[in-house]
Amino acid sequence: MYKKKTLRRMQPVTRRYARAINDLDGVLRRLRNLTEEVGRLELDSRALYSRREHEKPKLPIFAITEDDVLEVARGKFGIDILTDDQLRTVKKGVEFGLECWWEVVAAALGEALRGESETSGGTATLGGSL
């Protein structure tokens, strides 16, 4: 690292060269200070990647697609094409019909647990009340 006093005594080309060296020294110092942080970030990113790789994907339990709605329209009403407004209306109707979805899920879980306890000799237990 060249000090101001030393730089003032140098020839113009040498002074520019020395300033460039000073700039490089400063950049190198900043990079050295970041090395530890970059190492921590790399470990964190590897951990997240590993966790995502081993995580079981969450799949939807129930889904109705636009094709499903069109199939019903063809079978029940003989219609091959639905407008966007008609699809929005169907979506709102289905959402309204599923407002109490948790009751449906609770009933289905109860049925599943009852069926499991009958097949396993009554060893299934429910962790909480529904």
> Alpha-carbon distance 68 to 23, whole Å?
65
Pairwise pLDDT comparison (104 vs 74), residue with the higher score = 74
Helix, strand, coil shares of the chain, percent, nearest 5, are: 70, 0, 30
Look-up of token digits 């879980």: 109
pLDDT digit string, tens, across residues 9-31:
889 999 898 989 999 999 999 99
59 burial (CB, 10 Å; 0-12 / 13-18 / 19+) is exposed
51 burial (CB, 10 Å; 0-12 / 13-18 / 19+) is exposed
Every domain of the chain and the residues it spans: 4-54, 66-119
Q: Is the pLDDT reported for residue 122 higher than 70?
A: no
pLDDT digit string, tens, across residues 37-82:
999 999 999 888 887 777 777 778 888 899 999 999 999 999 899 9
Q: How much is the pLDDT for 60?
A: 80
> Which among 25, 18, 20, 22 has a CA at the least distance from the CA of 9?
18
> Alpha-carbon distance 33 to 25, whole Å?
12
Lowest mean pLDDT of 35-39, 85-89, 98-102, 124-128, name the range.
Answer: 124-128
Positive or negative: CA dihedral 85, 86, 91, 97: positive
> Alpha-carbon distance 91 to 98, whole Å?
11
Cβ partners under 8 Å of residue 126, min gap 6 = 113
Structure tokens at 9: 């005594």
Confidence of residue 84 (pLDDT cuts 50, 70, 90): very high
